[in-house]
Structure 1
């Protein structure tokens, strides 16, 4: 048996296929993942993803604002994701979303994502649009434009909050 030590920087700079293979090896070694290595193919479902504008993202947020878990999941997409494929798609690990939002299980994350998908259908008045899709490796997939739009909405929410706090302090 041979052991190899990799630094976090080496792993981060590795090609996506190598990072997925390392992730698979760690998870299967801990008994948390499937025995077979993941397949790199993107699902057919990704073809239905739409690129959300800042206006779309703001309208989706308005639709889900009464459901705090869905709002937390929505703003997880303001974080940088992993760009894959051509045309590029942003990948986010569902387990990371679960961890960052402090929800109790993946089912709650999925319910929040379904709520976000339904909100986009209402905003666009088109039942065929999808905010996000999924692959068979536990990733949520969105369009890069959608990630940028959500980051922009997040920045405007923070700016508004900052302005309110400054107004109260005066």
Structure 2
């Protein structure tokens, strides 16, 4: 028997077929059932929209009380892999699952569907979609949506740091 060691980065950058094979081998070795492939959303039934920072803030307001969904939303602010024409950003559901510490892919999909629903309420259009899925276990979003999520996250972190700095400055008594 021969063994090899791969870093998370090597696995993440491997071709899709290799990643799928590795996932199957891990599930098999652990005696687990492999996750079912996500269902593709037919393009004629709905469409991915490019969300602005304001759209994402509205979505966040709708899901604020559901921490796992908030975590999934901000997970999609990370850089993804862009492909296709028109371009879409792809994120592996297994990576989302791992980074958000959810228990199974079904939970991640439930959170993504909550985000989709929140966007339909924000946009007041039942045909819009924040994300879609492919048959290889990926979540798909518009590149502008990913950039808007990242921008909202950065803005929130800057506000938090500024508030902490003001609070710290208020606690420091001037030397007299």
Q: TM-score range, shorter-chain basis?
A: 0.7 to 0.9
* Aligned: 1:147 with 2:146: yes
Q: Which residue of 2 aligns with 1:48?
A: 47
Q: How many residues align?
A: 163
Counterpart CA distance in 1 for 2:87 and 2:18 is: 18
TM-score between the two structures when normalised by the length of structure 2: 0.75
C-alpha offsets along residues 111-152 of structure 1, whole Å, 9 cap, x if unaligned?
111111011001101000000000111110000000000000
Q: Which residue of 2 aligns with 1:69?
A: 68
Q: Contact 1:78–1:151 at 8 Å: present in 2 too?
A: yes
User: Aligned with 1:109: secondary structure?
Assistant: helix
Q: Which residue of 2 aligns with 1:137?
A: 136
User: Aligned with 1:162: secondary structure?
Assistant: helix
How big is the alpha-carbon RMSD for the aligned residues of Structure 1 and Structure 2?
2.9
TM-score between the two structures when normalised by the length of structure 1: 0.78
Counterpart CA distance in 1 for 2:132 and 2:31 is: 26
Map 1:1-170 → 2, pairs under 5 A: 43=40, 45=42, 48-170=47-169
Q: Contact 1:45–1:134 at 8 Å: present in 2 too?
A: no
Q: Contact 1:133–1:141 at 8 Å: present in 2 too?
A: yes
Counterpart CA distance in 2 for 1:51 and 1:104 is: 29
